[in-house]
């Protein structure tokens, strides 16, 4: 294969993959490449380049434009070859993912020798940018990740996660935070939020103007929230059953006890939604139905199509995890390091979350600016090896949660169809972690529930964190629930703005009567332990 800036014969895949392309298709692709290459040799500057990596003025001279055009041509050629491979879907997906990673890594913008912006910066600073860039790179090598923001600009509880409240209960696995009311009256049924355990909870309370927690409190709900402990090596053998029974179920029962309410409203976000729904199914098997309503945000229950994440999960990888950190075959349980998980997610969007910062921080010697969302993104959490390995095998690999009675969790056969409460099911249209059509499959699994499905614009996080005051984006709604996601979308109405008001309106009939807001946290049995945001969320991932 030639250099991706590419002068010479066309680049190709690995020989074993080339052999999987039908000969007639390969000839067609090579002929097309030769035709485009010939046209580019005749006019190296080609047509105007729209790729945002190459928009700056420094790229707009004939030599740099030619370099970019040859790179783009070879990139298209490689992708055409990848798409022509005849193999099972997972193999083709992996080939394309690998090629895309290589293409993005080999961009002319990523190298000092072929990045005119970085060269210009080097001259202007008399070499200082290169010195600073090297120092930035060395510092990141120590961290094990590419810096995306100025982490010194933020402090949990000071300028992120600032909603007023108190920790009223804690175990070795989680803390429960109760938030201070902002209305004179509140609904009698409290609202429990269960975030993912693979991230810190404060994505739901990042800034006051974009806080889901604060929005709910302003609507008159008494909000409780689970803050998961950042696992250390002593928790390596904590299981999925522990997160369900000692985690979600225990939290639900505790909020019932604090509030004196038989039923409460519950929210689960991402993996937190999978945990919450599983917990409610376990309780349903015991003929317990604690949820007056359930809200699921970007949650997978059917793992048939996990999008780009599917390229990472197969029998070999799961077995490796089970044997290395999962305690299989008498081995010792270990931990999945938070930085490893964070880096995996970053490489799902490498140009935005990796190479952009390599160029700016290392080649140009700049320091990343403060950005609260990226600070949260980098504030990683570890995962217990036993829990993570079980999750990979039984959900991602074997997709057993969708099958009634297939899994036994906390001693009960799990059947999601036994959950009876109304469900507000939200998905994001551009979500690369939980594809929206996969989230829609939950409609079929929650057979005992009345489901209200809503599709928001944007991605996994930006779609969820969309406060009404910003008047951004849009969402789609359709009261009918046809068999397929595409059929649902075809009949859906596009509505401008945030989906939050629709959600708030949906919650009202499930929230009970209104009463005077409590003047203190907890009760005589559940006393204040510490102020929000609590100590668990401040714990850093341990390598």
What pLDDT, in 10s, does the model give residues 217-260?
999 999 999 999 999 999 999 999 999 999 999 999 999 999 99
Q: In this structure, what is the dihedral angle of CA atoms 202, 207, 213, 219, given to the nearest 10 degrees? A: -170
CB atoms within 10 A of CB 521: 20
Is there a contact between 438 and 300 (Cβ–Cβ < 8 Å)?
yes
pLDDT band at 47 (very low <50, low <70, confident <90, very high): confident
pLDDT of 543 above 80: no
Query: Average of pLDDT values for 11-40?
Result: 90
pLDDT at 13: 80
Non-local (6+) Cβ contacts of 180 within 8 A are 163, 164, 165, 166, 217, 521
Please give the model's pTM, rounded to 2 decimal places. 0.93
Could you tell me which of 97, 195, 200 has the C-alpha nearest to residue 155?
200
Neighbours of 408 (CB within 10 A): 12
pLDDT at 8 over 50: no
335: enclosing H helix or E strand: strand 335-336
CA distance 273 to 428: 14
pLDDT at 343 over 60: yes
State pLDDT tens for residues 195-226: 999 999 999 999 999 999 999 999 999 999 99
Position 294 confidence tier, pLDDT thresholds 50, 70, 90: very high
Counting beta carbons within 10 angstroms of the beta carbon of residue 119, is it exposed (0 to 12), middle (13 to 18) or buried (19 or more)?
middle
Cβ partners under 8 Å of residue 351, min gap 6 = 53, 104, 107
Whether 1 shows a pLDDT value over 80: the answer reads: no
DSSP 301: S
Mean pLDDT of 373-394: 96
Active site residue 270: yes
Looking only at the bridges linking them, the beta strands covering 291-297 and 423-428 are parallel
13: Cα separation from own chain's centroid: 30
Which three-class secondary structure state does DSSP give residue 427?
A: strand
Q: In whole angstroms, what is the distance from residue 380 CA to residue 375 CA?
A: 10
DSSP symbols for 1-35: ---TT--SSPP---HHHHTTS-HHHHHHHHHHHHH
pLDDT in tens, 443-498: 999 999 999 999 999 999 999 999 999 999 999 999 999 999 999 999 999 999 99
Q: Which of 270, 333, 410, 421 is catalytic?
A: 270
- Per-residue DSSP letters for 46-86? -SPP--GGG-SGGG-SHHHHHHHHHHHHHHHHHHHHHHH--
Cα(197)–Cα(226) distance, integer angstroms? 10
Supply the pLDDT for residue 5.
40
What does the pLDDT look like over 156-198, one tens digit per residue?
Answer: 999 999 999 999 999 999 999 999 999 999 999 999 999 999 9
Residue 277 CA to residue 448 CA, distance in Å, equals: 13
Torsion on CA atoms 463, 465, 470, 472, rounded to nearest 10: 0
DSSP 8-state code for residue 203: G
Report how far apart, in Å, the C-alpha atoms of 141 and of each of 135, 137, 207, 539 are.
10, 6, 30, 22
């Amino acid at each position: 294969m030639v250099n991706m800036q590419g002068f010479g014969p066309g680049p190709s895949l690995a020989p074993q993959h080339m052999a999987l392309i039908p000969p007639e298709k390969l000839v067609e692709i090579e002929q097309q490449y030769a035709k485009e290459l010939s046209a580019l040799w005749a006019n190296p500057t080609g047509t105007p380049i729209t790729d945002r990596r190459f928009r700056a003025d420094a790229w707009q001279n004939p030599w740099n434009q030619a370099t970019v055009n040859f790179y783009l041509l070879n990139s298209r050629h490689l992708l055409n070859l990848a798409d022509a491979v005849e193999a099972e879907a997972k193999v083709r997906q992996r080939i394309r993912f690998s090629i895309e990673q290589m293409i993005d890594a080999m961009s002319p913008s990523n190298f000092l020798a072929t990045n005119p912006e970085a060269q210009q910066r080097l001259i202007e600073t008399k070499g200082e940018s290169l010195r600073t860039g090297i120092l930035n790179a060395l510092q990141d090598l120590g961290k094990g990740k590419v810096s995306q923001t100025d982490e010194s600009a933020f402090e949990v509880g000071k300028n992120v996660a600032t909603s007023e409240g108190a920790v009223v209960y804690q175990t070795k696995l989680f803390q429960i935070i109760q938030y201070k009311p902002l209305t004179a009256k509140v609904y009698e049924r409290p609202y429990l939020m269960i975030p993912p355990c693979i991230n810190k909870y404060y994505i739901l309370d990042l800034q006051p103007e974009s806080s889901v927690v604060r929005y709910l409190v302003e609507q008159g709900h008494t909000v409780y929230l689970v803050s998961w402990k950042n696992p250390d090596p002593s928790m390596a053998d904590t299981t999925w059953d522990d997160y369900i029974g000692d985690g979600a179920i225990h939290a639900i029962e505790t909020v019932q006890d604090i509030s004196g309410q038989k039923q409460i409203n519950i929210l689960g976000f991402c993996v937190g939604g999978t945990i919450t729904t599983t917990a409610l199914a376990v309780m349903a098997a015991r003929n317990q139905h604690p949820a007056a309503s359930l809200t699921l945000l970007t949650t997978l229950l059917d793992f048939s199509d996990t999008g780009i994440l599917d390229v990472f999960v197969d029998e070999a990888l799961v077995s490796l995890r089970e044997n290395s950190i999962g305690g299989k075959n008498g081995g010792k349980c270990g931990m999945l390091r938070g930085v490893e998980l964070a880096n995996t997610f970053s490489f799902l969007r490498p140009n935005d979350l990796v190479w952009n910062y390599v160029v700016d921080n290392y080649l140009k010697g700049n320091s990343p600016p403060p950005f609260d969302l990226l600070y949260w993104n980098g504030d990683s959490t570890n995962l217990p090896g036993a829990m993570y390995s079980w999750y990979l095998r039984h959900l991602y690999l074997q997709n057993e949660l969708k099958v009634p009675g297939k899994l036994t969790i906390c001693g009960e056969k799990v059947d999601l169809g036994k959950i009876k409460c109304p469900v507000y099911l939200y998905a994001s249209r551009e979500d690369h972690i939980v594809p929206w059509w996969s989230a829609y499959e939950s409609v079929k699994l929650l057979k005992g529930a009345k489901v209200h499905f809503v599709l928001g614009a944007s991605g996994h996080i930006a779609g969820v964190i969309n406060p009404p005051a910003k008047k951004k984006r849009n969402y789609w709604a359709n009261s009918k629930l046809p068999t397929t996601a595409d059929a649902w979308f075809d009949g859906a109405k596009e509505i401008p703005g945030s989906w939050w008001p629709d959600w708030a309106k949906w919650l009202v009939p499930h929230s009970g009567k209104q009463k005077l807001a409590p003047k203190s946290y907890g009760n005589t049995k559940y006393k204040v332990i510490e102020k929000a945001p609590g100590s668990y969320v401040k714990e850093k991932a341990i390598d």
